[in-house]
Amino acid sequence: MSNKISVDICIIGAGSGGLSVAAGASQMGAKVALIEKGEMGGDCLNSGCVPSKALLAAAHAAQNMRDAGRFGIQTVEPEVDWSAVHGHVHEVIKSIAPNDSQERFEGLGVTVVRAAASFINERTVLAGDYEVRAKYFVLATGSSPFVPPIEGLDKVSYFTNENIFANRDPVRHLIVIGGGPIGIEMAQAYRRLGARVTVMEMARLLMKDDPELSKVVIRKLTDEGVEFHEGCRNLRLEKQDDGGIAALCETDAGAQCVSGSHLLIATGRRANVKGLNLDAAAVSYSPHGVEVDTRLRTSNRRIFAIGDVAGPYQFTHMAAYQAGIVIRNMLFKLPARVNYSSVPWVTYSDPELAHVGMSEADAIQAGREVRILRWSFTENDRAQSERRTEGLIKVVTTAKGVILGASIVGLHAGELIQPWVLAITQKLKIGAMASMIAPYPTLAEANKRIAGSFFTDRLFSSATRRLVRLLLKF
């Protein structure tokens, strides 16, 4: 016999989005159940954002030792203890885990059920020994690595983001299939930690980002020794006699054969919808995820979906944003709707690559009349003092100065993008950014400088000079 639970809100999935809804709703007085079949904290804590950034931090520390010569400090080739690096990554996870723990949420009054959930009707799910009935449900089941049908893949062992952070052993040569953010971040991390790295991409590297800026990242990784093959066709894998892996493909440059010791598949993610028995709940879905409207309601109006399973962006911060939307809908009966016009994203390579709003290509495709502003970090005094002048800021505005989008490649781009997120969210004009007082010397001063460049032609025009000469006569 199942134990029956009746709640106001039942959340399936204890990742970023699910935990945000559970914490908010329970503290506002709702009776909440949270179902999770795996680890609390989901992908972000255990195999995504947190461990990847911890690994990148170790890699940056190693690279700083190699780059010290530019400051007059003797360069040292670091000795990497892979087991100790693994320990560092998992200590970081351990330090954050209490915020996402079952104990914390039970302390908030949430009923936590650790089992797989499956709908038995439109208002009820079965999870282990529990039958949970709720007024509202929130699907927050996340996504899993998408592993494409590559010839020979079934004959070799490989990493995805779900198991690469469990690795304690040295990596001699890592082959990365996929040149998106995950592939690029891991490629640079492993290269800086001493491995040879080859990235093989079927299309264009960092294809969702502005190619003018992504080339800066690829050039930096190339200088550090990462090898790239774009436009790979007919990719196949072979297991070698020594236990290694051979990756073969065809490119415009000819046939390629790469022999490595380890393989990482970083070809995107797929929404987790299997096993939920969504048909019984009258929820429409596809392999791409659950179908939702602008209020994040599914075809069953009492069931919402957020995060990777709902899309369209698979970011932790998007799940948290969507959590706020469904809380307003469920608890306060407000018709809150999503607005994706100012969604930022960051690739945490070195230099970082950040974006929000419309790109230049988006503007051209939309037929918008726009102005494109560019500002190089070579013009920034703080970047010069840090000896990190690679990169630029690129901003898209209307002819009247309304900010439509911004992209940044450079040191701390993920931090520098945030004023542009606010500007687009609040529909500010470029003059608002130009008029702010930026402390000197900071990298953020570049935001003010590029904004000011919008007015340069008008400010220093012949008409302005004539006006000044006239006014000076009085």
Provide the residue ranges of all domains of the chain, joining segments of one domain with +.
Answer: 3-40+101-145+270-332, 153-268, 344-459
What tens digit of pLDDT does each residue of 304-332 get? 999 999 999 999 999 999 999 999 999 99
Pair of tokens at residue 327: 């809380």
Q: Of all residues in the chain, what percent carry a pLDDT higher than 90?
A: 96
pLDDT at residue 279 greater than cutoff 80: yes
Amino acid at 122: E
Two domains, one topology: 3-40+101-145+270-332 and 153-268: yes
User: How does strand 370-376 pair with strand 352-357?
Assistant: unpaired
What tens digit of pLDDT does each residue of 115-148 get? 999 999 999 999 999 999 999 999 999 999 999 9
Known binding-site residue numbers: 53, 141-143, 178-185, 201, 268, 308
**What's the pLDDT at 1?**
57
Say which residues have a Cβ less than 8 Å from residue 202's Cβ, sequence separation at least 6: 231, 232, 233, 235
**What's the pLDDT at 358?**
96
Q: How many helices (H) and strands (E) does the chain have?
A: 16, 23
Query: What's the CA gap between 468 and 183, in Å, rounded?
Result: 55
Known binding-site residue numbers for NAD(+): 178-185, 201, 268
CATH topology for 3-40+101-145+270-332?
FAD/NAD(P)-binding domain (3.50.50)
> What's this model's pTM, rounded to 2 decimal places?
0.95
In CATH terms, 344-459 corresponds, of 3.30.450.40, 3.20.20.70, 3.20.20.140, 3.30.390.30, to 3.30.390.30
Known binding-site residue numbers for FAD: 53, 141-143, 308
CATH topology for 153-268?
FAD/NAD(P)-binding domain (3.50.50)
What tens digit of pLDDT does each residue of 141-178 get? 999 999 999 999 999 999 999 999 999 999 999 999 99
Find the radius of gyration of the CA atoms of the chain: 25
Find, among 340, 319, 345, 308, the residue nearest to 161 by Cα.
308
